[in-house]
């Protein structure tokens, strides 16, 4: 467990970085789901089907995405898919 001094030092540095607009939040993919975006499995479902795989049976979705990139000799198709889904998700949330 961290000492109070370590925690206080972290808070002091964090507040300083925050004031300088030098802070970022790193959150897992689950955060985007509640904001109306798809999760990894939903994003890769069609891609897995194209490859003859089931996204529900795959555990390493990053490797599935890389396999798709390798099979298609580039990222163009997966990038287009991500852009399309994210654009659709964002427009579905707007009034």
What are the tens digits of pLDDT across the range 23-74?
987 776 667 777 777 788 888 898 899 899 999 998 899 999 999 999 988 9
Of the pLDDT bands very low, low, confident and very high (cuts 50, 70, 90), residue 75 is very high
How many C-beta atoms surround the C-beta of residue 57 within 10 A? 7
pTM above 0.95, yes or no: no
CA distances (Å), origin 50, targets 25, 46, 60: 34, 6, 17
Domain boundaries, the chain: 29-93
């Amino acid at each position: 467990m961290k000492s109070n001094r370590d925690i206080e030092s972290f808070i002091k540095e964090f507040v300083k970085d925050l004031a300088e607009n030098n802070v970022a939040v790193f959150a897992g993919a689950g955060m985007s789901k509640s904001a109306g975006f798809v999760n990894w499995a939903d994003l890769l479902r069609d891609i897995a089907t194209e490859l003859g795989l089931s996204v529900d049976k795959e555990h390493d979705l990053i490797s599935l995405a890389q396999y798709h990139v390798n099979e298609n000799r580039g990222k163009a198709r997966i990038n287009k898919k991500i852009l399309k889904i994210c654009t659709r998700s964002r427009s579905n949330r707007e009034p």
